[in-house]
Structure 1
Amino acid sequence: MGVKKFENVPYEDALDMTGFGKFNYLMLALVGSIIMGMAYEIFSVSFLVTASACELDTVSSQQALIAGTPLVGIIASSHFWGYLADTKGRRKILCFSLTLGFCAGFIATFSPNWIVYMLLKFASSCGVAGTYALALTLLGECTPHSHRPKMIAYTTSIFLVCTGSMAILTIPVLPLKFSYYIPVLNIHFNSWRLLNIIYCIPCALGALGMLRSYESPKYLLSVGEEEKALEILRGIHTINNGKDAEFKVMSVSLDEESTREIVVGLWASLKSQTTPLLKPPLLKKTILLSLLFVIVYFCLNPYMVWLPFISDGIMRAMERGDENITFCQMLQTSLDVTKTNVSISIALSGNKSTGRKTLLISIQLLSGVAGLLVNLSSSWIVSNILFIIYVSGVLNFGYLATFVVDVFPTYVKAMAVCLCLMVGRGSSVLGINILKALLMDHCQLSFYFFAGLTIVGGLLSFLLPSDLEKKKKAEP
């Protein structure tokens, strides 16, 4: 009796039939290297701007300008990368953007002055601006639906680990005492320039990995390349199940509506790719998810940015024996301390029996309630546990991204992820400045304000669509 073959299988069902295994974990590792490259290139400036101050002869205002350059690059180019990924492919654009990020970042190592360094860092940040969103999109489109929330949520933990590891790399490298003069450039190659090169390496590794990786089969299907998509699905099935296992799908369908338009000209094409997100039926989804990204980033990212300041204040208060006062009182007594680099990395894997919408809402509400309660206890242990629970809400960066990956059609998916992340990061800039001012003068108000808004985000999350039900495959 011959093996039953399946014709015209919906994409999600075909992806489920490839299984879950080696390929998916290799893809997660590749996405992890891409996230590391983005994090290192964007956040390295905060470590290098001070270390390079003497040689580049920068004053505080110039250092602040350099430090803000990566964020400007991200906001300026994220939209464009989303457009390119939706029109040219995820793999090709990730290769190009990572290569651009590496080349500009590497050349910045040999900057003769701070202006050249700032311009090159702007170029490198523009290069990696869309990599996080595009990596999430690629991961989501290559992962079976039942495992997708978990895999994308892991990327948040990877991101937090990457940002924390930067300090670990800095400790042994920056103190190195060597200096090699390069007459052609009239510069000295020393420890901060070496550290800059080290921070560039993950971008190069990510670009090389993408060259050996598959394109998103869902993207190929959306542009009419069914045979190529089916070939990649076969390849994924082989990696997960071995060469002897047979992939029973003979043809696959996208099973979603596409209104991709063919237009001439870059501006007209960019506009046509963006317009669907700003009109029905996608407008409500765009507004809701953008608003949730704004709330999550605005409320939680500032606390992660100022975590070194907060952690140092708490530790100094404990050293002085000020343990029986509230969290904010401990900070208020430590305003004159010097900042240190401290990072918290939180990893959480959702229970498969818990829907991701329920998990997202639970994390958001638990985080907000913990933030409101931080200053109601005079026990430093209780206060710190509540604060850790509050900042653990950053896990929703990943869970929220899974909804963007799922609810938007393939032809605008990368654009949607990039735009949502862009508005979220943009709002965090405002939050960072507001939080710093409040921590200095109105610490308790800061927790009530940010934690209260976090709870509002949890309530708004009830408007998100329910988890998609897996369709049962038809049996003969």
Structure 2
Amino acid sequence: MLTIFWCEKSIAGNMKVSVDTVKLQEIEMAMNGSSDKNGMKVDKTAASLDDAMLLSGFGIYNISHMLMSGVILLGMIMQSLALGYILPAAQCDLDLTLQQRGWLSAIPFLAIILTSYFWGWLADTQGRRPVMLFSMMISAVFSAFASFAPDVISFGVLVFLSAIFMSGSSAVVYTYLGEFNNLRHRDKMVAFGSSFVGIGTVILPCVSWLILPLEFAYPISILGIEYRPWRLLVVACAIPFALGSVLLAFAPESPKFLFATGNYDAALDVVKRIYHRNTKKDVDTFPIKSLIVDQHTAKTSNVRGLAAIWSSMKEQTVPLFQRPLLAWTALTCFVQFGIFATTNGFYVWFPSILNSLAHHEGGESRICDVLDAGRDAVSNGTMICDDTIHTSTFERSIYIGLVFSSMYIIVGFLVDYVGKKPILVVILGITGVCGICAHLAYNQQLAVVLFAVFQMSGACIGLMNAVAVELFPTKYRAMAICLSMMMGRVGSMVGSNLIGLFLEVNCGAGFYLFGSIIIVNSLFCLTLPNKKRIPHKKIVVESTQNETHEPV
């Protein structure tokens, strides 16, 4: 297959000949009414959900669904990282100290840490779509309110409330995206959808560059503020969530979730909808008329009362810390912690680091030497509030964002052919080494390039979520991903504050520590299972709730 952006002429033409063609032939034999080895007639209109997803094909529906999920991810990453540009521009209006900037930068991650678990449970019990739709709309509203905050306290509270609801979609969207694609294309589409995280790191400095240099100040006497460009940037970063809410309003619920909760007809209707969009054929021509259900599939009961909610959350959580899922829970949480701590932790301070490099007028020196010199100059002189950001800061941020998003796209193309495990091991290993070397480089341009490569470890976040979609059964999948993402947010909060501390006391130690963590993550990924393949065997009734691997 040359590219994923062409619709299929036939389902079999896009499946691997050695594996998927055999499976599709067996599906067709079953639908044609062939008998099994005992001479019993096979129902020619019934199939498992995975088989039905294979027959729905791959095309415009999958691509449009990936783009919608990408818009949601774009809103998530812009709101999470926007404070890196907003706070330097707002430090005079809000009278911010360096310590306050560090804690404000950590507020979105703290909110996500405290609420991801709840959102994961809600998504596994009430549905992926309603959770994301509700949370995104409320998050966008609170972001708009935050742009009018008169002081640091009100700004922090409103950002915190916005981040609480942003958490509802930050992890669920990966599950929602993965469950609309069959096993053949799932990894690839999750990887391409995750590329919008990288695209967000390009769009964010672009939007900041367009807005922050503007010179306007509209007084709002009732609030005692002047509406300056940084306040407009707060609103601009919430626009993708507003757009994502509109798009999601026309999207269906995940067929995997519908099937897992006993809504089999609704699940089949969604599959038919995918088939219709991909093939341009009428839904009545879809060969599957019913879905095969095994005895383990049970409909979720309605939850009432705090005791029932606690019992349901316990039921969703305990299996993640028991065999056979415990090993995968520990691995995904640890790897996400390290990646988020490194990528988001450094990115929060990234504009400040680049701004210091842009104002450096001496000869060639290491990144940490430049930062130390700037700090000493401030401590020895009169401190004057300056909220301007050098133009080169935006330019370099855009260049690094382009490399970042390119890595996501490259991963999306390679994942089907190479597999998730080799990509994770290689990327994490190389980026970890580059992080250590970035501190040692005396040439500023080389140091910035190595630092940019160091940030490429973030391209593995979506890939780890694709791993989790495959490792965990449908019943616990959203909870597992939310748990791993919650640990990632813990890493972001810990990383942003630790890096701020290291920049003050020992800059080089931060590069050594987080570079080593990424290298250790690379070694841990060696324990992941190899690329999942559809077995060469006759189709059997297989519950989507039991799609998991035994721990290594």
Q: 1:178 to 1:297 in 2, by over 3 A?
A: closer
The TM-score, its normalising length taken from structure 2, stands at 0.76
- 2:171 partner SS: helix
Q: Spell out, residue by residue over 1:276-300, the C-alpha distance to the aligned partner (whole angstroms, 9 max, x if none).
A: 2222332222112112212222344
1:393 CA displacement: 1.6
2:323 is aligned to 280
Aligned partner of 1:250: which letter? K
Equivalent residue for 1:428?
492
Moved more, 453-462 or 226-235: 453-462
Give the deviation of 1:448 after TM superposition: 3.3
1:294 to 321, 337, 361: 337
Asked if 1:395 is matched to 2:395, the reply is no
Distance 2:81 2:145 in 1: 17
Query: What's the offset of the Cα at 1:194?
Result: 3.3
Q: What's the CA shift string for 1:384-421, capped at 9, x where partnerless?
A: 54443332121111111111111111111111111101
User: Residues 306 and 106 of structure 1: is their aligned pair in 2 closer, same or farther, counting only changes over 3 Å?
Assistant: closer
Given the superposition, is the C-alpha separation of residues 308 and 240 from structure 1 closer, same or farther in structure 2, using an over 3 Å criterion?
same
1:252 alignment partner in structure 2: 291
Is 1:40 equivalent to 2:104 in the alignment?
A: no
Cα deviations by residue, 1:187-231 (Å, 9 ceiling, x for unpaired): 555544433332222211111111101210000000011111111
Equivalent pair of 2:73/2:196 in contact (CA under 8 Å): yes
CA shift digits 1:159-200 (9 cap, x unpaired): 132144223223333444545555665655554443333222
> Residue 467 of structure 1: SS of its match in structure 2?
coil
Cα deviation, residue 455, structure 1: 1.8
Comparing 142-151 with 391-400, which one deviates more in the overlay?
Answer: 142-151
Q: Separation in 2 of the partners of 1:278 and 1:227?
A: 33
After superposition, residues 138-149 of structure 1 pair within 5 angstroms as 138-149=176-187
Q: Which has the larger radius of gyration?
A: 2
> Is residue 27 of structure 1 aligned with residue 70 of structure 2?
no
Aligned to 1:229, the other structure's residue is in SS state helix
User: Which amino acid in structure 1 is aligned with residue 59 of structure 2?
Assistant: G
CA contact (8 A) 2:198 2:459 kept: no
Change (3 A) 1:459 1:123: same
Q: 1:314 to 1:115 in 2, by over 3 A?
A: closer
2:527 corresponds to which residue? 463
CA distance, structure 2, for counterparts of residue 381 and residue 71 of structure 1: 31
Q: Give 1:136 shift.
A: 0.7
Instruction: Please name the residue that 2:420 is paired with.
Output: 356
Partner SS state of residue 287, structure 2:
coil
Give the whole-Å Cα distance in 1 for the aligned partners of 2:149 and 2:130.
Answer: 29
What corresponds to 1:412 in structure 2? 476
RMSD over aligned CA atoms reads 3.4
Q: Distance in 2 between matches of 1:288 and 1:220?
A: 28
- With over 3 angstroms needed to count, the CA separation of the structure-2 counterparts of 1:129 and 1:230, relative to structure 1, is same
- Correspondence for 2:4: none
CA contact (8 A) 2:106 2:493 kept: no
Normalising by structure 1, what TM-score? 0.86
What is the rounded CA distance, in whole Å, between the counterparts of 1:106 and 1:217 in structure 2?
A: 34
Distance 2:159 2:368 in 1: 36
1:251 Cα deviation after fit: 2.6
CA separation in 1, counterparts of 2:515 and 2:451? 11
Partner of 1:10: 48
- Aligned-pair identity in percent equals 31
User: Mean Cα displacement is larger for which, 51-60 or 417-426?
Assistant: 51-60
User: Quick check: 86-95 or 172-181, which moved more?
Assistant: 172-181
Alignment pair present for 1:449 and 2:488: no
Structure 2 letter corresponding to 1:454: I
Equivalent position to 1:93, from 131, 143, 162: 131
Name the count of aligned residue pairs: 472
Q: Which runs of 5+ in 2 are unaligned?
A: 1-28, 34-43, 378-388, 540-552
Q: For the Cα contact (< 8 Å) 2:180–2:255, is it kept in 1?
A: yes
> Is the deviation greater in 363-372 or in 2-11?
2-11
Aligned-pair CA distance for 1:81: 0.8
CA–CA separation in structure 2 for the residues paired with 1:405 and 1:298: 22
8 Å CA contact retained: 2:260, 2:475: yes
